[in-house]
Structure 1
């Protein structure tokens, strides 16, 4: 029984990941930029996409963790996912 539930969970997760990856509308490379530039560039980029679309933002400024959460919340946008790989922060922001 547990094995079946695990397989179902993995299949659903895999489907969501594939769905999510297909819906990235634009990628913004803000690596190497210091505050406030990642947010400034993100605002300009998100203004150009439609509501519900997803912007992928790559950042190396560690202060961006708090900045992006506050900025997205204030604008009604949703951080669908965030991760860190090899010193790069990835934010997936769905426009309100």
Structure 2
């Protein structure tokens, strides 16, 4: 599992960093991320779900969104 704290960054940096982190990962590997920026809290989960990855919300409150992403490699099947 890879962990990335993205709470210090504002949109679109967290989305770019998530894309870069997912690229070398294998199917089924997990990425745990923390987001605080309102734009990123909206855009990152939307993007991940649209790409077909499994997104589990671990925490969602006023200050923080914590997600566990399981990579799904759709190109393999």
> TM-score normalised to the size of structure 2?
0.79
* Structure label with greater radius of gyration: 1
Provide the alpha-carbon RMSD of the alignment. Answer: 1.7
Query: Which structure has more helix as a fraction of its residues?
Result: 1
Q: Which runs of 5+ in 2 are unaligned?
A: 73-77
Any conservation in 1 of the 2:6–2:34 contact (CA below 8 Å)? Answer: yes
Q: Which runs of 5+ in 1 are unaligned?
A: 1-24
What is the number of equivalent residue pairs in this alignment?
A: 72
> TM-score normalised to the size of structure 1?
0.65
RCO greater where, 1 or 2, for CA within 8 Å and sep 6 or more? 2
Q: Secondary structure at the match of 1:35?
A: coil
Provide the residue aligned with 2:68 in structure 1. Answer: 92
